[in-house]
Structure 1
């Protein structure tokens, strides 16, 4: 078989921070495999030095659980920064060697579904150490600045709202591709609905509100469940993910229908009439694909609230900010025209664009020598029918929300910052792993600094940063020293 006929290999890098990034990577892998690609999957947390990934995941969970106000301060303080703070940059620099090692010699593109991985890939592209296209698939409906990495060739968005946010922050190659979900998430007919209710032991005729809080079961879930029950409009059906303690507390509170981790979420959605969510992640998209109206309520800080605002702005899910609005909003969604309109809007989201595979394919099929980090190559073929918006003026996000999204594969694209030219597909393995005394010393210093930042400062480091006592001065000299490499 000739090289042109052989399958193209793509590397997908996600992160097991909750289930959203991994869920998006799973669907991306499935779609790419169906399109004939060979796909390698990696967890970015495994690529961080000294097994810091699991510590960071645990610290993030504890922060959401124990200090949600602190997380909100962190998110707000960093939401529009142009680059990560020195401590984060030093930590990410430690993942570069392992990230490069995951990319096999015949790989044609790397796709990230996690912002930390995107930052690493973008840095490698800018310095010419990664000579194949790097793309980011935005898994959130709102875009934190960490998602936008200089050097990334394309940022793929599910909707025009996150696309506009990414563009406003300087992202290159912004493309509205539409979302991806498991094909089992489809609207249910009445027979499927009744069968699903029987299977889950749910009442046959009572309106049911499916309350979800991600795989970790974080946020004021008990309050939300009690308030849904108190409206008398719908009966709450709560999914706690892997939070077994939360499930026990809810049962003690008198909530009759409580589930832990649910393998058959499509079936449970078929059984319910509305989704109440607090984070705006993958589950919201799955509900929209299944024809369920979605509402955001008692959202977790940071991305939970910005995602809720973006979904509301897009007309896909109202954000209830006050408890006295819960009952009337649920009533409108369950029994009024608002519910029908939102079901139609949700389903239309999945037919307006073909998903990210055509955009990834366009990057893969383009001549590698013509691709420059941070900009789309003029010689890269776009999917058939894609309008060229490379010189178009981007509408404001508010105006964009009231207009139909771009056609399938459409791009938002003002010319991006120029990157550095790439001279070869991949640097020789021997050159990448050559360890002179200076390089070895740099890696050692980085490892010690990263471990110290995570273990000694822990949650305190981002909290201090958010509250104006930036730890950057502890890492400034180190970061400057490290970033001299390969410049």
Structure 2
């Protein structure tokens, strides 16, 4: 049995985490697999331009994100710009194409549209003969995910399936599996209790690692001005500048305040929280849905995270705050309304897919078994 190849792109952390979640499940079944970043097969300059520039623009230049999203959210046959972009991308990952042609894995799973387009092209040209599975990591569809030779798509919700079908993908090739999360979030889901009592003081978690410093500080200042008693934990990730700024803020005694850097047990903090403020990245909100923590979503990247925020808000599983002031307003409102928090928790529970990685692994295993019988 040739190892299953799990291919992601390091444009944000979500695509890698989704691949890692699938790897966890494959490992538990002793299915051989390898996980790889497609950009590792490109030049340092191309990797920097695709990964690091994306990270900077997504945090600090939302207008540029919006323009790029709309420019590339086109049908390939109708967009010369998109075809040119994909040609440039292909030229920069020829090492990956040679590697795949030589190794010919039976199954490749892509958690980003870039590897799917490369794999689909290779299959069209006869350079790759295995199965191609795509895992869409947001709750809205960008048309760069649409590749004609993908054998099956795994998606987070009905809107993405609808858009894929309208884009020409066969209905039976699109499975609503949810976005795959690490096993510890499935375990959090199993510990969920509908009647979770509020903490005393009210416990607020703020995942601020990808939020501009100015917005984080504005929200913190607004929370201080409300006069409410809080247990407030801000997770700043690897943003050392933000950590320094937060540690310099004069916090009143009625707020139990913690600033943390990178943590690898975010699920524990989510479980403890009565409410969470976060950017609506596809993986982050999927993890939060499994835990059942109510969300206030801020500063979404146009348009993929806006799609996520709209999807959750439309289903009652979160609130999209349009500004720092709006976020503070919603915190204050939920602080005094246990019933609203309970309702949001219940809606999140209904949207959660804690076993998505298992569903994907089932499909992979079925393909491998069929291939071994040939």
TM-score range, shorter chain: 0.7 to 0.9
1:346 has 2:348 as partner: yes
The structure whose RCO (Cα within 8 Å, separation 6+) is larger is: 1
Q: Residue 105 of structure 1: CA displacement?
A: 3.9
More helix by percentage: 2
In the superposition, relative to structure 1, how do residues 211 and 334 fare at CA in structure 2: closer, same or farther (>3 Å)?
farther
Residues 17-416 of structure 1 mapped to structure 2, 5 A cutoff: 17-49=11-43, 51-82=45-76, 84-102=82-100, 105=103, 107-172=105-170, 173-185=173-185, 186=188, 205-214=200-209, 216-218=210-212, 220-232=215-227, 234-254=230-250, 256-321=257-322, 323-324=325-326, 326-328=328-330, 331-332=333-334, 335-348=337-350, 349-350=352-353, 355-366=359-370
After superposition, give the CA deviation of every residue in 1:69-122 in whole Å (9 maximum; x if it has no partner): 222222233334436341343223431442441477462100011121111111
Q: Structure 1 residues 340, 62: CA separation in 2 closer, same or farther (over 3 Å shift)?
A: same
Indicate how the Cα distance of structure 1 residues 89 and 131 shifts in structure 2: closer, same or farther if over 3 A, else same.
same
Moved more, 152-161 or 90-99: 90-99
C-alpha deviation, 1:302, in angstroms: 2.9
Which range moves more in the overlay, 130-139 or 173-182? Answer: 173-182
SS at match of 2:221: helix
Distance 2:145 2:219 in 1: 30
Residues 289 and 151 (structure 1 numbering): CA distance in 2 closer, same or farther, change over 3 Å?
same
Q: Which runs of 5+ in 1 are unaligned?
A: 1-6, 195-203, 371-487
- Work out the number of aligned pairs and report it: 353
Take 2:132 and 2:177, find their aligned partners in 1: how far apart are those partners? 16
* Root-mean-square deviation over aligned CA pairs: 3.2
Deviations 1:325-369 (A, max 9, x none): 753466348733332233233333236975322233343344599
- Hey, what does 1:442 align to over in structure 2? none
The question of whether the paired residues in 1 share the 8 Å contact of 2:181 and 2:354 is answered with: no
- Residues 1:75 and 1:90: Cα distance change in structure 2 (over 3 Å): same
**Cα distance in structure 2, aligned partners of 1:228 and 1:39:** 47
Give TM-score, length-normalised by structure 2: 0.82
Alpha carbons of structure 1 residues 350 and 95: separation in structure 2 relative to 1, 3 Å: same
Provide closer, same or farther for how the CA distance between residues 50 and 19 of structure 1 changes in structure 2, counting only shifts above 3 A: closer
**Structure 2, unaligned runs of 5 or more:** 252-256
1:43 Cα offset (Å): 0.6
Larger Rg: 1
